Structure 1
Amino acid sequence: MNTKRLAVILYHTCPLSDEIDAEIGGANTYVLELSKSLAKKGQALDVYTRLQDTDSPRIVQVTPSLRVIHLPAGDEKALSKKLLIEYIPEFLKNFYAFMEKEKLSYSVVSCHYYLSGIIGLDIKKTLGIPMIMTFHTLGLMKNLVARSDDEREGLERIQTEIQLVKEADQIIATSEADAQYIETLYSGTKEKISILIPGVNLQLFKPMDKKAAKRKIGAELDHKMILFVGRIEPLKGIDVLLYAMKILLNINPDCKVCVWIVGGDVSKASEDWSKELQKLNAVRKVLGITTSVKFIGRKEPVELPDYYNAADLLVLPSHYESFGITAVEAMACGVPVITTDVAGVSDLLDEKHDFLITSANNPIMLAEKIQDIIENEEDYEKISHELSENVQDLSWDDAAGRFMKLCIMCSKIND
């Protein structure tokens, strides 16, 4: 057990955030759940994030050995990731001031996302401690599938990621594919790259009675529900799912099936929705599937088990996905998952279940696979049980144990 304190940087978003319009996704879950599990193992750690709300407490004591510390950096409100880089010097100034005030010392700095990596490099050099880098997404891969200039990452991000790969003491990839991208596209040293597959909260995400779950969330009992859970952004390929739904209904107009999209802020009038939500709503109308597709809005993690268990199928239609934690959560609930071959979670599907993998940006193939699952009632229960069993070993406790070994290894290298 490592008794020295660990500094964790998640600059662009707070792992505790419950704001509907906040930048919330897999990184939030990853950092919070991993940190909680590290704390349970006796590791003291502080998670530093940017203050985004004047009403937020500056320090949140999550457990006796885990704190989330909000540091001012720019306006105290949610800002676009692309605007955040200019406030990094202020964040660092407040980080060092807090360290001095609290008389803190750290053995390792762990950084999540490239903006946090910029902060981590400064901390590494100033304090003389090793740095562990987890990217979560890679700019080069996002640009590979970007369909417009708005979706593309700038050269500055790519150059920063290359520098971080070079200077970090250890790099964590969340999938085999991302590990290969870091090594080949970013010239990463193979010996510095470790794969740490995210865990799943098995106490929260577990099978429940499907009809009871459908009743609880107000879903129709006689309809097959196809679920999407995640951020509403072009990279997620939600439009491909809508096209697949149209194809499915054209093949079988009497098919009782619906799509529920969980994510984003739909509490306002539709004309005030985000740009991407408005695009998807327009697609829904043009395709004539308005009554079959529902935008549910973002839900709290504690609510998600009801939605997963009410669903007959979860679809992850991403153009690029570093991992895909929602897919593992759904599997833990015994819900079959169709994922694209570019999502890291596809690594978890063995040859027996590779029929659940579809090609990115291929609505015809996706529609065929959805139809195969929802119409094959004989094998449905068997598939559900097998997928649930396959993820039972993916605990956050195991992930925390592997992470602590990396911390110890880093410390020894730098001694």
Structure 2
Amino acid sequence: MVLSDHYLTFVKDQVELLAKTFAHTDVYVRYHPATEISRVLSIPRLKSFRKDSLIDRTNLPGNVSIHPTPLFYLPCDHQFKRVGERYYNTVKNRLQRSGAYPDLVHAHFIWPNGFVGAMLKKEYGIPFVVTAHGYDIYDLPFRDAEWKERIEAILNAADVVITVSNSNRECVERLNVTAPVKVVPNGFRHDQFYPMGTETCRKTLNLPVDRKILLSVGNLVEVKGHTYLIDAMSEVVRERMDVLCLIVGRGELKHRLEKKISSLGLEQYVRLVGGKPHSEIPLWMNASNVFVLPSLRESFGIVQVEAMACGKPVVATKNGGSEEIVTPGKTGLLCDAADPQGLAESIVRAIDAPWDASAIADEVGPYSWASIGKEISWTYSSLI
């Protein structure tokens, strides 16, 4: 059994890769049934939690079943703390009705999915693995004493704790956790992300062939740092005017970012192109000259690995995850987070630098799912 927040791409890829090692895999996808409440209360953040937008069943193996699991709560910390028991009861009731109990539970994100996994282990003795992906380990346990206690309890209930980066593991080490901890990064699909002809991809996407294209991919939320990227572009265009920055993603900051682009007079240099299907992202990456990740915080940042797999240099901030992936001067450049001037300087340098696309693509070979899957499969085998 897999427990996940939405059917995130890195979870979907992992499930599809490992499904062949099991007779059957049930994936419980937690979602917020907020279509109507978001319309009535005008809460943009909730609109992304609609059931129909969460489940990508493309190429789903026949032995994998997806169970959309609604969990309603108001978007505030107090409410979020109280959802664990309700979520567990929902999953437990479904299991009891089916009579099919899993041989192993893998929960992605500690809360509330990890709580459900811990309870299933306690009640039924099912081996339990939890992956700490991001805010659930660098943010939640350090908000207050209550969060710290419950996150520690979940991690200590696990047979194995997986984190996706060394920076995440350092967060675990700041807690009172005795369960074994392994660093297993997210992977990329090497059959989708590989070098393609830049001009061909640009023509397919109807993009100009005579511009230096910068690409950023990520939800339009504060932590992704797009506001600093837009500020940086106002500096970049002082140096050269043949640039075009494309930001792929959707989110609550769309209108604010659009206003910022307009106020800085960057309409010809920065475009918000909206969210795109993950299967289309390789085209956008191959159409670019440089990939930019301006995040304030990243646990790992799979998009930069995917860009490098396409042979593209990465300009990233020192955000916790990128320092483990980007090798300055070889696969990209690093700069301080929340520093538009430093980001602009790095972007200009990256545009002008001679990069070896093949060497960049080769560098991320160990992050392919073919390699990462072996480590996860071994973990499962050791517990069953």
Per the TM superposition, whether the score is higher than 0.5 is: yes
Deviations 1:124-173 (A, max 9, x none): 211112321112113573489xxxxxxx9676544432332333221111
Kept in 2, the 8 Å contact 1:321–1:342? The answer is yes
Correspondence for 1:65:
63
Are positions 1:258 and 2:244 aligned together?
Answer: yes
Deviations 1:286-343 (A, max 9, x none): 3221221111111001111111111111111111101001111111111111112224
Correspondence for 1:171:
161
| C-alpha spacing 1:219/1:351, structure 2 compared with 1 (3 Å) | closer
Matches within 5 A, 1:15-414: 15=7, 28-42=8-22, 44-50=24-30, 52=33, 62-74=60-72, 80=75, 86-113=82-109, 114-139=111-136, 141-142=138-139, 156-183=146-173, 185-189=174-178, 192-250=180-238, 252=239, 254-264=240-250, 274=252, 276-350=253-327, 353=330, 356-376=333-353, 379-380=354-355, 382=356, 384-411=357-384
| C-alpha spacing 1:175/1:213, structure 2 compared with 1 (3 Å) | same
1:80 and 1:371 map into 2 onto residues whose CA distance is 40
1:329 alignment partner, SS class: helix
Number of positions where the alignment pairs a residue of Structure 1 with one of Structure 2: 364
Amino acid paired to 1:217: L
1:159 and 1:295 map into 2 onto residues whose CA distance is 41
1:157 and 1:370 map into 2 onto residues whose CA distance is 39
| C-alpha spacing 1:201/1:55, structure 2 compared with 1 (3 Å) | closer
| C-alpha spacing 1:278/1:46, structure 2 compared with 1 (3 Å) | same
Kept in 2, the 8 Å contact 1:319–1:340? The answer is yes
| C-alpha spacing 1:280/1:72, structure 2 compared with 1 (3 Å) | closer
| C-alpha spacing 1:141/1:95, structure 2 compared with 1 (3 Å) | closer
Correspondence for 1:21:
none
TM-score (norm. length: structure 2):
0.85
User: 1:407 Cα shift?
Assistant: 2.1
1:400 alignment partner, SS class: helix
2:10 and 2:157 map into 1 onto residues whose CA distance is 23
Kept in 2, the 8 Å contact 1:284–1:290? The answer is yes
1:50 alignment partner, SS class: strand
2:118 and 2:333 map into 1 onto residues whose CA distance is 40
1:361 and 1:56 map into 2 onto residues whose CA distance is 31
User: 1:226 Cα shift?
Assistant: 0.8
C-alpha RMSD of the superposition: 2.9
1:261 and 1:165 map into 2 onto residues whose CA distance is 36
1:232 and 1:155 map into 2 onto residues whose CA distance is 30
1:289 alignment partner, SS class: coil
Percent identical among aligned pairs is: 25
User: 1:351 Cα shift?
Assistant: 6.1
2:56 and 2:283 map into 1 onto residues whose CA distance is 31
Kept in 2, the 8 Å contact 1:165–1:186? The answer is no
Q: Which has the higher contact order (CA 8 A, sep 6+)?
A: 1
Amino acid paired to 1:141: Y
Deviations 1:367-396 (A, max 9, x none): 1111112123xx13x1x2211111123221
1:98 and 1:123 map into 2 onto residues whose CA distance is 13
User: 1:263 Cα shift?
Assistant: 0.4
Kept in 2, the 8 Å contact 1:59–1:67? The answer is no
In the alignment, structure 2 segments of 5+ residues that lack a partner are: 34-49
